[in-house]
Structure 1
Amino acid sequence: MIKLCQENLCTGCWGCYDVCPKDAISMVPRSPMGDRHPVIDRKKCIECHLCENVCPILNPPKCKSPENSFASWANNSQIHIKSASGGIGSVLAKHFLNQGGVVYGCTSEGAEIRHIRIADLDEYVRIQGSKYVQSSIGKIYCQIKQDLIAGRRVLFIGTPCQVAALRKYLKKDYEQLLMVDLICHGVPSQYLFESHIRHIAGNKPVTTVKFRSEDGFCLNIISGSQSIYKNYVWKDRYTDVYFTAFLKSYTFRESCYTCPYAKSERVSDITIGDFWGLDKDIIKNYDIKDGVSVILPITPKGNGIIEELNSEISLVARPVEEAITGNSQLRHPSRKSFGCKIFRFFMSKGLSLKQSLYLSDSLLIPAYKLYNRIKK
């Protein structure tokens, strides 16, 4: 009988769903956090074991340490302002599309966050910026393989677990494929995100959701051409319950707290993310007004793409250790704190996101006071 990985270890990568030749696997939300998990229809299953073989948890892919590190940002100021960090993901996407390649990345369609395929340069803006939600993959891995067999150059940008699933799905390396993983702190479920957005929007149709505007990081809900809600991550940090719970690491998928990819060894060709811990003199000397990305090339292909982008990005070589020290996700997974455990307990009892957050915060302070008193 087919046996997939333990539920608490499942990363929701969609590899098993994508590889099944009989469509016998569904990705079903599970309470209380709404994370999607594979469910096998035994009547359709032919016991081919492809789902077991593709699982990156049951069959971990090889990871490799970066040999060098760069602080980087887009030379195009419009890309830099509208993108997360230094805009390197957007520069990569434009570069591949300009060369006739195809790009796979994450977008918002209404309140749904999912991966899409784009082949038109005008569409790259759809995948611009970070999405603080676990995306739906669908049959993307299958589409990527078809493009590769057809000889197309392909760029895939996703979380480390999605890159790991793609590696296992393809079974071999394709020279024209570049896999980029994002430094990931953890992913809340589509269910939590969509419930929050629907609660705010009410009866108004949601056209798209953005997490970045020209004046900073924010949750921006758009209906038609009008913004109906804008909450700034840092300025309004404790006023939006979704972002508050995210920043406290309360709402991540269970496997995120034991993530096998939250380490300096990486599963992709190139890793990108925020350059936390960057020497302040670099920011001052280069007069950087917006975000800075860290680029960690892992494979020869990763190093090669940096050379290709030489005229499109600014690069400053930095010690690899600086990047690792400044970004905890390059050292260990997000911690499941005491407050997180209280929060998830209330969620398991059917309370809402807002109720669980309020109660966990209300109990946390007296609990710590009691702990410190006992400790003394």
Structure 2
Amino acid sequence: MISSIEKNKCTGCKMCGDICPSGAVDFKTENDGCWYPTVDEEKCIECGLCIKKCPALNIVPSDNNSDPAVYAAWSLNEKVRYDSTSGGIYYEVAKAFIDEGGYIAGCIFSSDFKTAKHVIGKTYDDLNAIMGSKYFQSDTAGIYKEISTLIKNGEKVLFCGTPCQVAALRSFLGKDQRNLYLLDFICKGINSPKAYTAYIDEIERNYKSSVKLVRQKSKKTGWQSLATNIIFQNGKEYHKDRYTDWWIQGYTCGNLFMRENCQECLYKTMPRQADLTFGDFWGIKGCSDEDVQKGISVVFENSQKGAELIQAAIKNLHLEKRSLDEVLDGNPYLFGQAIQKGNRSEFFELLDKEPFSKAVKETYTENIVQKGKRYIKFILKHVFKRKKW
């Protein structure tokens, strides 16, 4: 039964719940805020599908290109580019897909911005909700069945998710579907929803208001600042960058509250699971400072379907051919594993009784020293740039 899967293997994709014909699989959230499958033995018919189809227990094979075409890219629409996490390529590809009558499936925030889930839509409003990164795990329960139904009805679907979620969908469907188009991204690892909720709860207490809007990797202070921008119902605003925001510190520096399996990801490899892979083109050379401030995407064209998606959106895109080596210079997690730093178990124990920021500070002490050093370098760099201007 799938309930016996080890926590350091389970991706939390929830596909086993969708594929179970008797509804015997449910999910229990552990103290780390991550969910894992449970099985009602009275309902279970011992068909074995949950084990046979699990993308964590069985590597899902891919026939995509092992040496894909690589591009630096961004949207030609300045507002789309600014509002997006990197270069706005997802938005343009998904918009073109909607314009051709297709459905899009992706991750949205809950109304209170404290959780996230995967949904299906086909309007620009749906696209606006899906665009932008959410750096914690989305609930995908039911999404596999919904997509399967649409495909059987002859509809075209564009699914965007983590590499393991894409693998789960491909495993669920069992064979490649002509009307299904898949997008994934360069994934460092997915974080605990409990940690993210605690982060937002603390900020709401500090600002004495509920959240109205969250933008992670806001470009208000430039793409590379990795800033978080939060607007509150009372009109106040929170804006902190990679050196001063405790969520970014715990994630980018400490890998402190990621799912356990993300340290041994099976899908940081080529060929990719998806038709297109997106990411931030960190460390790119040969681009202007202005373009670097606005955000630049890397795009892997992994299949013929991926080429079709790019071609459909080409009039709204800037594309430059690049190489895999250039991408690897700034994206070590394309193939590399994110190893946990700090004391993860102690962090979650503290989180039950202390604010999020304190739990990070007390379980990842290296962060406090390194943060100050990086912040000084950041300030000095920008001071010298201004002098040149």
Encode CA deviations 1:128-174: one digit per residue, 9 max, x unaligned.
21111111112011111111111111111111110010000111111
- Once the two structures are TM-superposed, the CA of residue 283 in structure 1 deviates from its matched residue by 3.4
* Alpha-carbon offset, residue 227 of structure 1: 5.0
Count of residues in Structure 1 that have an aligned counterpart in Structure 2: 356
Aligned-partner SS, 1:137: coil
Residue 151 in 1 paired to residue 154 in 2? Answer: yes
Within-5 A mapping of 1:292-303: 292-303=296-307
CA contact under 8 A between 2:211 and 2:230: conserved in structure 1?
yes
Distance 1:220 1:137 in 2: 26
Counterpart check, 1:211 vs 2:211: no
Which residue in the other structure is 2:384 paired with?
Answer: none
1:131 aligns to what SS in structure 2?
coil
Instruction: Find the counterpart in structure 1 of residue 248 from structure 2.
Output: 243
Pick closer, same or farther for the CA change 1:283–1:61 going to 2, 3 Å: farther
Give the structure 1 partner of residue 71 of structure 2: 70
Q: Which residue of 2 aligns with 1:356?
A: 359
1:273 corresponds, among 271, 274, 279, to: 279
Equivalent in the alignment of 1:334 = 338
AA matched with 1:38: P
What is the TM-score when the length of structure 2 is the normalising length? 0.84
Report the TM-score when normalising by structure 1.
0.87
TM-superposed CA distance for 1:180, in Å, is 0.4
* Larger mean Cα displacement after TM superposition, 141-150 or 210-219: 210-219
Q: Answer with 17-26 or 81-90: which moved more.
A: 17-26
Report the counterpart of residue 200 of structure 2 in structure 1.
197
TM-aligned CA deviation for residue 355 of structure 1:
3.4
Q: 1:12: how far off?
A: 0.8
Q: Deviations over 1:80-118 (max 9, x none)?
A: 000011011111121111111110111111222111111
Query: Is 2:131 aligned against 1:125?
Result: no
More deviation in 117-126 or 170-179? 117-126
1:121, distance to aligned residue in structure 2 (A): 2.3
Cα distance change on mapping 1:209 and 1:39 into 2, 3 Å: farther
Q: In 1, are the aligned partners of 2:219 and 2:294 still within 8 Å (CA)? A: no
Shift of 1:21: 2.5
What is the one-letter code of the residue matched to 1:358?
A: K
What amino acid is aligned across from residue 257 of structure 2 in structure 1? Answer: T
Partner Cα distance (1:231, 1:71) in 2: 28
Give distance in 2, aligned partners of 1:186 and 1:227.
Answer: 33
The correspondence for 1:322, drawn from 314, 322, 326, is 326
Match of 1:17 in 2: 17
- CA drift of 1:194 comes to 1.3
Q: Does structure 2 conserve the Cα–Cα contact (< 8 Å) formed by 1:69 and 1:317?
A: yes
Percent identical among aligned pairs is 32
Q: Measured at CA, do residues 242 and 59 of structure 1 come closer, stay the same or move farther in structure 2, by a change above 3 Å?
A: same
The equivalent residue for 1:290 is 294
1:139 aligns to 2:142 (yes or no): yes
Q: CA deviation at 1:229?
A: 4.5
Worse overlay, 305-314 or 81-90: 305-314
CA distance in 2, matches of 1:25, 1:228: 43
2:348 alignment counterpart: 347
Residue 316 of structure 2 is matched in structure 1 by: 312
- Work out the CA distance in 2 between the residues paired with 1:22 and 1:283: 57
Q: Hey, what does 1:35 align to over in structure 2?
A: 34
Structure 2 distance, partners of 1:227, 1:252, is 32
Q: What is the alpha-carbon distance in structure 2 between the residues aligned to residue 30 and residue 68 of structure 1?
A: 41
Report what 2:5 is aligned to.
Answer: 5
Equivalent position SS for 2:287:
helix
Mapped to 1, the partners of 2:227 and 2:264 lie a distance apart of 28
The 1:227–1:210 alpha-carbon spacing in structure 2 relative to 1, beyond 3 Å, is farther
Report the Cα offset of residue 264 of structure 1: 4.2
Within a 5 Å distance, the mapping from 1:52-91 to structure 2 comes to 52-63=51-62, 64=64, 65-91=66-92
Change in Cα spacing, 1:275 to 1:227, as seen in structure 2 (3 Å) is: farther
- Determine the C-alpha separation between the residues in 1 that align with 2:197 and 2:107: 16
**Secondary structure of 1:310 counterpart:** helix
Q: Is the 8 A contact 1:218 1:230 kept in 2?
A: no
Equivalents in 2 of 1:68, 1:52: separation in Å? 35
Change (3 A) 1:336 1:101: same
Distance 2:324 2:364 in 1: 37
Supply the distance in 1 between the matched residues of 2:141 and 2:292 (Cα, whole angstroms): 38
Query: What is the deviation of 1:52?
Result: 1.3
Letter in 1 for 2:14: W
User: Unpaired runs of 5+ in structure 1?
Assistant: 367-376
The residue identity in structure 2 corresponding to 1:268 is: A
Q: Distance in 1 between matches of 2:55 and 2:344?
A: 29
User: How has the CA–CA distance of structure 1 residues 30 and 307 changed in structure 2, closer, same or farther, with 3 Å as cutoff?
Assistant: same
Q: Residue 372 of structure 1 corresponds to which residue in structure 2? A: none
